[in-house]
Chains A and B, each alone.
Chain A
Amino acid sequence: MSRPQALDDGTMQSVSPVTAPVLAVKDFSLTFKAGAETNLVESVSFSVSPGKTLCIVGESGCGKSVTSLALMGLLPSPPARIVSGTAEFNGRNLFAMPERARADLRGNEMAMIFQEPMTSLNPAFTVGQQIAEGIMRHRDVSKGEARAEALKMLEWVRIPAPEKRLDAYPHQLSGGMRQRVMIAMALANRPKLLIADEPTTALDVTIQAQILALVRQIQAETGTAMILITHDLGVVAEVADDVAVMYAGRIVESGPVEAIFGDPQHPYTIGLFGSVPSLGRRQGRLATIKGAVPPLDLMPKGCRFAPRCPLADSRCHDEVPPTVPFGDGHSAACWYAPIEQTMEARQ
């Protein structure tokens, strides 16, 4: 696979693997039921580097949101319990930090935005008050300075008539505008990591395009690392540097975006691409993935995709497949990867 190349003298924005990741998650498993046979999120690993965007893509219920909430320290425990794993953020393991230290990070060095802005906006306060409050919580500034900073943030996220919007209440804004306000709030303290959970899912395509363009531009300006969670492969194609495809709590394929789109290897990834109608002329029926994601109490013990996978055989049902590397950070968890070679033998 070809990746964007850094210039020899290394002056270009670095794609070199030596950059230390902002966040490195290793072998993360999570459950909601003590003593449950299977974990909701099972042995998940990924990392994201400064200025880069990792997209976690997968269908609903596969554990994307609980993973991001766990990283933010926003998942109430109990009932949630981290069964294994580490999350190194700037060299410190988030999962081993006391709650106070994590509260200091939240909204400061790491920030999150949600699909529905009203989950993080308080309807009783003006936009300006809320952004200023977030700034004052983590920085030693006066009310006036915080308000001035809030105004700058609104300008930065290109809200029209920002002075006027500073005193607006969230319900007075359109959906796209609220999403911009939430981005302004999240970025106010210049986080090193931004987690965006389906930030454009509720928006029309025209507004989605505006928000994605904004996010890309902000990232170029600040070098913030971003984890963007989505179920939309179009959004992935548009913004990702790296991709982790998640299915039923596991990462089934991951790698650079060019590899995932140009050389997809896992049957789930392939089925997912086949399910999305093309924008070009119609090419017959859509490929589908039969059935639905299994509920946790019916989770297969081998490959979790086996009940829906056209290629599954008895080994797939019984044994968890290994993660097969294809080089350049691209890998897939499937007994039959690389797919064409092994399938030719079975056809």
Chain B
Amino acid sequence: MSAATAEAPILEARGLVKRFGGRRGLFESSPTVHAVNDVSLQIRRGETFAIVGESGCGKSTLGRLLLRLIEPSEGDVLYEGQSITSLPSRDMRRLRRDLQIIFQDPFASLNPRMTVGDIIAEPIRLHGLARGAAVRARVSELLGIVGLRPEYADRYPHEFSGGQRQRIGIARALAGEPKLIIGDEPVSALDVSIQAQVINLLEDLKERFGLTLVIVAHDLAVIRHMSDRVAVMYLGEIVEMSPVDPLYEKPLHPYTQALLRAIPAPDPKDRVAPQLLQGDVPNPTDLPTGCRFHTRCPHVQPRCAQEHPALEDAGGGRLVACHFWREIGEAEPGIGADDSADTALSRRLEVYRTFQARREAEPSTPDINQQGGQT
């Protein structure tokens, strides 16, 4: 994991606000959706930064704002210290190369009438990174990097499984030699075995190309595994931001605590009846007053409905937005630091990995996607 640096952030959000709708015509009025509310954050070069929260809390909107795929209602985004909301078009092109996104459903983002080769070649041609035969060579290279066979360049997206399509989306994202990739739920739609393959691939690529990753996800185990720092969002706001281990071991915000408590116990021996968060997330067209979590918070006090808590420094690189985090935090044990006990599973995984490594070392390793690309 990358160490924290005092270096300037690669990407920074300042007071980002995004509202949808709210236009009032003569006969109709659509309620305003407050999707993102005053979000500020700094993403450090080389880190994996995660954004987590329940669906509808504004994660995807924030991701799109960070890449300027949509325009903010208020606030600004800085890439390498420069505002991207008012870039001249030459710099905008560079931005489009440097910052890439991969989506949850790669199928929706891959043109069904283009071959995989053309899909991956598009950014290469667009940015003039190669010409003629060199384009095809680069496409083959990129397919190899993401663990697909070069022949796949002539096939169409529908011929591939979900995991393979995600690899194609990743190859396309890599084509422009980006500096930062945002993954919007990049593994959420995949089966666990395929999910693990894609997580490992993303980590390898990050290492190999010195990428910065921003992972938007709702799976708390995936986030703990992949990220260095985490922002927890609730109703468009960041309620807690922290390095990953302290967040899981000692969550400060009542919402973070509730999220962690809702995760099923990974071992049947640990089943308990947890104190559950009641009800649904309120509608973002009708935000609660004061602390937005006060309608569901088990620690709510009268002050919470009136006064909006600001994000405050909780030490150790942590920020939390709760009036009472000091009092509450003490009482709440999070998820243990260590579960690396010697178990039957850990011993058998050792056997499994040993044999797998041995097999990989054999010269005639079959293509890992042998079974998937059915024609």
Chain A positions within 8 Å of B, measured between CB atoms, are 59-60, 160, 174, 176-177, 204-210, 212-213, 231-238, 240, 257-258, 261-265, 267, 270-283, 285-295, 297-298, 307-308, 310-311, 339-340, 343, 347
- B 244-264 to A, binary, CB cutoff 8 A, 1 in contact else 0: 010010000000001101111
Asked whether A277 lies within 8 Å of B222 as measured between CB atoms, the reply is: yes
Q: Is the interface of B mostly helix, strand, loop or mixed?
A: helix
Asked whether A292 lies within 8 Å of B353 as measured between CB atoms, the reply is: no
Residue B267 at the A interface, CB < 8 A?
Answer: yes
Determine the chain B residues whose CB is within 8 A of the CB of A262 once the complex forms.
269, 343-345
A-B residue pairs in contact (CB < 8 Å), sample of 12: A59-B191, A59-B194, A204-B55, A234-B265, A270-B348, A272-B193, A286-B196, A286-B225, A289-B193, A292-B161, A307-B366, A343-B355
Residue B374 at the A interface, CB < 8 A?
Answer: yes
Asked whether A275 lies within 8 Å of B193 as measured between CB atoms, the reply is: yes
Query: How many B residues touch A, CB cutoff 8 Å?
Result: 72
Closest Cβ–Cβ distance, residue A89 to chain B (whole Å): 27
Chain B positions within 8 Å of A, measured between CB atoms, are 1, 54-55, 161, 163-164, 191-197, 199-200, 203, 218, 220-222, 224-226, 245, 248, 258-259, 261-271, 273-274, 276-280, 335-340, 343-345, 347-349, 351-356, 358-359, 366, 368-372, 374
Closest to B356 in A: A310
Asked whether B348 lies within 8 Å of A339 as measured between CB atoms, the reply is: yes
- Told that A288-B200, A340-B351 touch, could you supply 17 new A-B pairs with CB distance under 8 A? A59-B194, A208-B262, A210-B278, A213-B273, A273-B349, A274-B196, A274-B353, A276-B196, A277-B199, A277-B224, A278-B221, A278-B339, A286-B225, A289-B193, A290-B368, A291-B370, A307-B371
Closest to B249 in A: A281
Determine the chain A residues whose CB is within 8 A of the CB of B222 once the complex forms.
277
Asked whether A339 lies within 8 Å of B351 as measured between CB atoms, the reply is: yes
CA distance A162 to B343 in the complex (A): 47
Asked whether B192 lies within 8 Å of A278 as measured between CB atoms, the reply is: no
Asked whether A294 lies within 8 Å of B371 as measured between CB atoms, the reply is: yes
Q: How many A-B residue pairs have CB under 8 A?
A: 202
Asked whether B225 lies within 8 Å of A271 as measured between CB atoms, the reply is: no
Closest Cβ–Cβ distance, residue B365 to chain A (whole Å): 9
Residue among A267, A289, A292, A340 with max Cβ neighbours from chain B (10 Å): A292
CA distance A153 to B60 in the complex (A): 37
CA distance A210 to B279 in the complex (A): 9
Determine the chain B residues whose CB is within 8 A of the CB of A59 once the complex forms.
191-194
Closest to B189 in A: A60
Determine the chain A residues whose CB is within 8 A of the CB of B340 once the complex forms.
280-281, 283
Determine the chain A residues whose CB is within 8 A of the CB of B359 once the complex forms.
310
Determine the chain A residues whose CB is within 8 A of the CB of B343 once the complex forms.
262
Determine the chain A residues whose CB is within 8 A of the CB of B197 once the complex forms.
288, 290
Closest to A294 in B: B371
Determine the chain B residues whose CB is within 8 A of the CB of A213 once the complex forms.
273, 276
Determine the chain B residues whose CB is within 8 A of the CB of A281 once the complex forms.
224, 245, 337-338, 340
CA distance A238 to B268 in the complex (A): 6
Determine the chain A residues whose CB is within 8 A of the CB of B259 once the complex forms.
205-206
Asked whether A209 lies within 8 Å of B276 as measured between CB atoms, the reply is: yes
Closest to A200 in B: B264
CA distance A288 to B349 in the complex (A): 10
Closest to A216 in B: B273
Asked whether A234 lies within 8 Å of B263 as measured between CB atoms, the reply is: yes
Determine the chain B residues whose CB is within 8 A of the CB of A288 once the complex forms.
193, 196-197, 200
Asked whether A292 lies within 8 Å of B163 as measured between CB atoms, the reply is: yes
Determine the chain B residues whose CB is within 8 A of the CB of A294 once the complex forms.
371
Name the contact of B280 in the complex, choosing from A176, A209, A212, A295 (C-beta under 8 A). Answer: A176
Asked whether B267 lies within 8 Å of A206 as measured between CB atoms, the reply is: no
Asked whether A234 lies within 8 Å of B266 as measured between CB atoms, the reply is: yes
CA distance A308 to B259 in the complex (A): 35
Asked whether B191 lies within 8 Å of A231 as measured between CB atoms, the reply is: yes
Asked whether A205 lies within 8 Å of B245 as measured between CB atoms, the reply is: no
CA distance A198 to B341 in the complex (A): 31
CA distance A233 to B343 in the complex (A): 17
Asked whether B268 lies within 8 Å of A257 as measured between CB atoms, the reply is: yes
